Amino acid sequence: MSLKNRHRKFRPPLPELRRAVSAWRGLLPIRLEELSIVFLDDAEMANWHGRLSDDPTPTDILTLDYGEGSAEILISLDTAKRQAVENGNTFIRELRLYLAHGLLHLSGYGDKTAPQRKKMRAAEKRLLANKSIAAP
């Protein structure tokens, strides 16, 4: 697993986030040889979002399953900062939420319909409440 920060201003706590992802991967049916997690700014995320979905606006997270045991999670740190304030979360908790969300997508969870979103939210809460991972 690799974590890369390509944001020039924000510095996420990569070791702490790596520990959370490693623990969660052990709880989920994810079989990946290679997982890359990349932290971006809004401009780069908007570029990715535009290429993948014809919507050239930034989004919080994109999960890319390349098949054959390879996947990538892209996270906008600018969006995470804004959403953390709006959601009443710390920046780190917001990042952990996005990582849980991405891992759940890689485990087969969807969020296109209301029932799927309900199931996804419940699974996110379970992962975030996992006592084996210290949360700030």
Nearest Cα to Cα of residue 106 among 86, 127, 132, 134:
127
Residue 71 pairs in a beta bridge with: 35, 65
Whether residue 136 lies inside any domain: the answer is no
> Residue 121 sits in a domain of what CATH number?
3.40.390.30
pLDDT digits (tens, 9 = 90+) for 24-52: 998 999 889 999 999 999 999 999 999 99
Instruction: Fill in the amino acid letter for 23.
Output: A
Q: What's the structural domain count of the chain? A: 1
pLDDT at 133 over 80: no
pLDDT tens for 93-131 read 999 999 999 999 999 999 999 999 999 999 999 999 986
Q: Is residue 64 part of a domain?
A: yes
Q: Which domain holds residue 57?
A: 2-128
Reading the block at residue 100, the tokens are 């849980």
Q: What is the pTM of this model?
A: 0.93
Residue 134 located in a structural domain: no
Asked whether residue 135 is assigned to any structural domain, the reply reads: no
The reply to whether 25 falls in a domain is: yes
> Would you give the DSSP letter of residue 28?
T
- Residue 65 per-residue DSSP state: E
